[in-house]
Amino acid sequence: MKTEVIIPQGNTAEEVATRRNIIANFYREWKLHNPLQRRFNLDLREYINIRFVSITETCAHSSRSYLSTLAVLQLDAILIGAQKVTTVPAKANANQKQFEKMIVMTYDCPGIGTVKMTVGVRRRNHEKIQYCITALET
């Protein structure tokens, strides 16, 4: 039985922390129902995988915004339907050092608007890893 989750819309530290927990719990539940932890993206014609970095980065960034938190809850649709916009070099920070490049993708999410998903391409095996999902607010 699913319980209804109320997502706070404000920007207080408590509300952001609540949204972070909602996102972390969502990923935990998603992984239980998706043991391979991946979805086939139609535009890339490759699998996009969910890994630990997917959860930590998305929790950190998407929890800052109500719309971004809503977007994460549409994970399957975004993983499958997002379209490639551009490819950029990975940053030299600790979180992106495992990637050779980052693919920026967008998805038009009903009721939310345009959502940006960043996908990292691993250096050693070229595996595509969902890095972060955020709503592009207008």
pLDDT in tens, 1-19: 456 789 999 999 999 999 9
pTM assigned to the model: 0.92
pLDDT in tens, 56-91: 999 999 999 999 999 999 999 999 999 999 999 999
pLDDT in tens, 32-63: 999 999 999 999 999 999 999 999 999 999 99
Mean pLDDT (the chain) is: 94
Residue type, 122: R
Whether the CB-CB separation of 136 and 112 falls below 8 Å is answered with: no
Higher-confidence position of 2 and 93 = 93
**113-122 and 128-135: which strand pairing?**
antiparallel
Check residue 95 and give its pLDDT.
87
Question: What is the C-alpha to C-alpha distance for residues 112 and 95, in angstroms, rounded to an integer?
Answer: 27
Q: Which two tokens stand for residue 99?
A: 């990637």
| CA 60 to chain CA centroid, nearest Å | 11
Check residue 116 and give its pLDDT.
97
Check residue 138 and give its pLDDT.
58
